[in-house]
Amino acid sequence: MSSYRLRSFSHWLLALFLTFTAVGQVAAQDAATVSKDGVVPGQTAAAAPAAAAGGAAPAGDAAAVAAGDALFKGNCAQCHAVNDVVVGPALAGIDQRRPLPWIIKWVKNSSKMVASGDEYAVKLFNQYQKQQMPNFALSDEEITSIVAYVKSQTGPGAGTKQEQGGSPDQGAQANQGGAAGADDAAGAGKYVNVVLIVLIVVLIVLVVTLVIIANIMKDVLRGRKDLDGRDVELLDQKTDWMGILKSGWFKGVVGTLFVLVVLYESIQGIMAVGLTQGYQPAQPIAFSHKLHAGEHQINCAYCHTSVYKSKSANIPSANICMNCHSQIKTTSPEIKKIYRAIQRQQPIQWVRIHNLPDLAYFNHSQHTQVGGIECQTCHGPIQNMDVVYQYSALTMGWCINCHRETPLNTKGNGYYDNLVKLHDEANASAPFTVSSNGGTECSKCHY
Ligand code: HEC
Ligand code: HEC
Ligand code: HEC
Ligand code: HEC
Ligand code: HEC
Ligand code: HEC
């Protein structure tokens, strides 16, 4: 009787186990196909608008889109986005709203069109608080390429995700590449996580099943009469947890681990004295780089105007904010703070985040303009930060390491021609880094 119950019980267990494994496997397989699909539609979605644009006008279109991309960023992006209203309307679907000749005439001289009484133009002009769009001395072809670019970007989320080269601003370019890459990675990461979770569940089920099976086997063995004393002893053996806890080697291992952790943490603490990495003060106005530099893709240098030209990257004055916020979000309490500062003729009191000691000399233009280093290399993913924080350590070691590793950007820079020749004569196999040019000499960075 009991053996019958036992057998049906183990059958039942086996069935349960098989079901679990099967479900786990199907789920894992699903996850795998979804992960494939998750990538493929992403790619086709990116390719589709381009194909649509190609449908209207035959090949050679990619070049037009690329040219339009650069023209759009250089001339239009401060007021227009493809899928969002910025200062001017969202341009998505413009080729359907208006015929191409109208668009060309409009971009060349919009005020003339409004003055001529064009019904659509007058209505739009009034709708946008009679703001004048500037006139552009662009050719018909250039304007057509901008329209092609807009077409290629139309669609939800398409505008911000799939831009690549051609941007005049290295910073924004890196941020888009970064964002798209991160998206892909996040997508892939999600499926890897699903697969992992399924695997872990399967493992747990396996372990539980094995323990149960082991116990059943023991029960079966206990039922047998032909076991001798030692076998019975083995069968009834229990793990002696208390014994292990009290044993010398256990105490030794735990003690050593404890001392190591404390030592590691204290050393880390001491090394961090005077470091402000991660510093993220609250700012007087809830200004978001994620919104401005990320979503609306405003060029870093639109606000930090001197970053390519001088030692310091200035913080924009309230006037720069007013270029847009005289029109945008005028009733927001945060924006009213800007108006108040202007009324009082007092600057907005931004809290400074990055701050080298006076003994060190750092020059932005040397790094951004001459060295061609992107803002994000030193400042991190600013375009994703709602509130800016100090990304790099800004220690001397950080400066020096990069100077040792980074080859000089000497291309097209006549200043370096002779130095490169001298360096190559002396040792052509070693790269010509910042430090081989004296970038680790004390006096370069210390007054
Ligand atoms: C300084 C801001 C500004 C810039 C720069 C700008 N625009 Fe405009 N644009 C506007 C405004 C504002 C309107 C709405 C009409 C008005 O008020 O004149 C508009 C309207 C338009 C329209 C009509 C949109 C519709 O929905 O019918 C088109 C097309 C257009 N702009 C294209 C361009 C192109 C192409 C460029 C770049 C070459 C450009 N704009 C640059 C501000 C700007
Ligand atoms: C619309 C204007 C605007 C744009 C565009 C903009 N910034 Fe800023 N940035 C500010 C303002 C205002 C502050 C000061 C408030 C703050 O720290 O958020 C600031 C602060 C910073 C700081 C910290 C300065 C400090 O106190 O040490 C860094 C670094 C920075 N910006 C980098 C960038 C980079 C990189 C980009 C482009 C990806 C960019 N900014 C685009 C307006 C802008
Ligand atoms: C080139 C145009 C432009 C400039 C310059 C600009 N902004 Fe903006 N700002 C925008 C746009 C677009 C939005 C988003 C509006 C929306 O969400 O509808 C925005 C939103 C904001 C918001 C959020 C408002 C709210 O209540 O949602 C704040 C705060 C802000 N900006 C502050 C600033 C400050 C401070 C400056 C100057 C350092 C500045 N902006 C410069 C275009 C600009
Ligand atoms: C090689 C590293 C590096 C690069 C590249 C770099 N920065 Fe900086 N940035 C710094 C350091 C270091 C400071 C602190 C300077 C100081 O305290 O004197 C700083 C400070 C700033 C500040 C605060 C104002 C100031 O000048 O002290 C802003 C704003 C800023 N950076 C913006 C930018 C922007 C925008 C870019 C890209 C166009 C950029 N940075 C590229 C290292 C860098
Ligand atoms: C991400 C890499 C990087 C970091 C970080 C960096 N630098 Fe540089 N630095 C460069 C490059 C590249 C050049 C060479 C630019 C050129 O002249 O072509 C350079 C050049 C310089 C020069 C001029 C050297 C010369 O020979 O004339 C000085 C001074 C300097 N950096 C100071 C600093 C200081 C101070 C810091 C830290 C606060 C720093 N740098 C951090 C990459 C970096
Ligand atoms: C590439 C730039 C660079 C070079 C080259 C450089 N330093 Fe520095 N040094 C810095 C920066 C930036 C700091 C500030 C770091 C900080 O605040 O943690 C610093 C800090 C120091 C300090 C610490 C000051 C204090 O208050 O803690 C000393 C001392 C120093 N440097 C000496 C030297 C000597 C000696 C050399 C030549 C062998 C040298 N440095 C070369 C960038 C440089």
Which ligand lies nearest the alpha carbon of 338?
Answer: 3
Per residue in 29-62, pLDDT tens?
Answer: 444 433 333 333 333 333 333 333 333 444 458 8
pLDDT of the residue at 410: 83
Residue boundaries of the structural domains of the chain: 1-227, 243-273, 289-445
* DSSP secondary structure letters along 279-335: --PPPSS---HIIIIIIS---HHHHSTTTTTSSS-PPPPHHHHHHHHTTTTTT-HHH
Indicate whether this model's pTM tops 0.75.
no
Lowest-pLDDT range of 8-22, 135-149, 258-272, 359-373: 8-22
| Cβ atoms of 385 and 398 closer than 8 Å | no
Distance CA 326, CA 131 (A): 11
What's the CA-to-centroid distance between 396 and ligand 6, angstroms? 5
Which residue, by CA, sits nearest to atom 5 of ligand 1?
76
- What is the 307 CA–ligand 5 centroid distance (Å)? 14
In the predicted model, is pLDDT for residue 112 greater than 80? yes
Query: What's the pLDDT at 197?
Result: 94
| H or E, element range at 304 | none
pLDDT category of residue 1 using cuts at 50, 70 and 90: very low
d(CA 73, CA 297): 9
Nearest to 272 by CA among 366, 394, 150, 184: 394
Ligand 1: centre distance to CA 8 (Å): 78
Q: Which CATH class is domain 1-227?
A: mainly alpha
CA distances (Å), 193 to each of 187, 188, 201, 207, in order? 10, 9, 12, 21
φ and ψ of 315, to 5 deg? -90, 135
Report DSSP state, residue 291: I
Sequence-ordered list of residues with C-beta below 8 angstroms from that of 48, at least 6 positions apart, any chain: 155
Weakest-pLDDT range from 69-83, 162-176, 357-371: 162-176
**Rounded Cα gap, residues 57 and 308, in angstroms:** 39
Ligand 3 binding pocket includes 287 (Cβ within 6 Å): yes
Q: Please tell me which residue, 15 or 71, carries the higher pLDDT value.
A: 71
Residue with tokens 């924080």: 389
pLDDT (average), residues 202-208 = 96
- Among residues 72, 89, 129, the alpha carbon closest in space to that of 326 is found at 129
Q: Which of 16, 386, 383, 374 is nearest to 176 (CA)?
A: 383
Question: What is the chain's alpha carbon radius of gyration, rounded to the nearest angstrom?
Answer: 33
Give residues with Cβ within 8 angstroms of 96, minimum separation 6.
Answer: none
Ligand 6 near 403 CB (within 6 A):
yes
Residue with more model confidence, 287 or 20: 287
**What pLDDT score does 23 carry?**
53
Provide the pLDDT confidence category of residue 163 given band limits of 50, 70 and 90: very low
Report the separation in Å between the CA atom of 239 and the middle of ligand 1, taken as the mean of its atom positions: 78
Q: What separation in Å is there between the alpha carbon of 300 and the centre of ligand 4?
A: 11
Looking at residue 329, the DSSP 8-state letter turns out to be T
pLDDT at 167: 36
Sign (positive/negative) of CA torsion 95, 101, 107, 109? negative
Point out which residues pair with 290 in neighbouring strands.
none
For residue 8, the model assigns a pLDDT of 52
**Spacing, Cα 169 to ligand 5 middle (Å):** 20
Mean pLDDT of 120-149: 87
Nearest residue (by CA) to ligand 1, atom 9, is 88
Give, using CA atoms, the residue closest to atom 36 of ligand 1: 76
Ligand 6 pocket, mutate which of 373, 406, 445, 447 (most atoms under 8 A from CB): 445
Q: 107 alpha carbon to ligand 1 midpoint, in Å?
A: 7
Which atom of ligand 1 sits closest to the CA of residue 76?
A: 37
Q: Is 354 in the pocket of ligand 3 (CB under 6 A)?
A: no
pLDDT at 180: 39
